[in-house]
Homo-oligomer: A and B are copies of this chain.
Amino acid sequence: MIYPKPLEDLVKQLQKLPTIGPKTAQRLAFSILKMPGEEVIKISKSLSEVKTKLNYCRICGSITDQDPCMICTNPNRSHQVVCVIEEPEDLLAIERTRQYKGVYHVLMGVLSPLDGIGPRDLRIDPLLKRVDEKNITEVIIATNYTTEGQATALYLANQLDSFDIEITRIAYGIPVGGDLEYIDDQTIGQAIEGRRKISS
């Protein structure tokens, strides 16, 4: 190949990122080449810093630069309500709504027998221990509404059944802005089943 070695290396490395194929990697590599040196050094530094400076919170399992994390140590949040999520990034999606004031528990994945992921591969034992030892009153299961997410939710509900706590699941239904005409039957069915009285 006519690429000089360092450029070829970069194109190869960039392809390890998700959704970056050979063509995108090449385009990115050339644009990096054209960037001012100090900008590239900044990106390179940021990359290594996320690996050296960030860690998982020992309590909730989210990504943090202090351990325990800012949410687990925040006295203004309810530490009796725990929201169970699949991945650290789900936390950001919920935090963006500014509606949730409890704490989190990250499973680090979802039950998936086909991929060989069983209960022991997820942070389920730490969750049970947390519910057992801390004064927790409600666990909101916020795994995704996928087959795996649903199976995980059911499994968790079973495991938590022996504790005297409320176990809830985030609501199914029509997404905000959703147009009935274009929404799948299953979602509409669930939305009707989950209907609530309109308080007047």
Name A's B-contacting residues (CB within 8 A).
2-7, 9-10, 12-14, 16-19, 24, 26-33, 35, 37, 39-51, 53-54, 63-66, 70-71, 87-89, 91-92, 95
Contact = CB atoms under 8 A, between A and B. Distances in A.
Given A44-B44, A63-B4, A37 B51 contact: yes
B44 A10 contact: no
Contacts of A66: 4
For the residues of A in contact with B, the DSSP-based class is: helix
A20 to B, nearest CB: 8
Given A7-B54, A9-B49, A54-B6, A17 B32 contact: yes
Contacts of A24: 19
A23 B95 CA distance: 16
Nearest to A28: B17
Contacts of A18: 27-28, 31
B7 A63 contact: yes
Contacts of A95: 2
Contacts of A5: 65
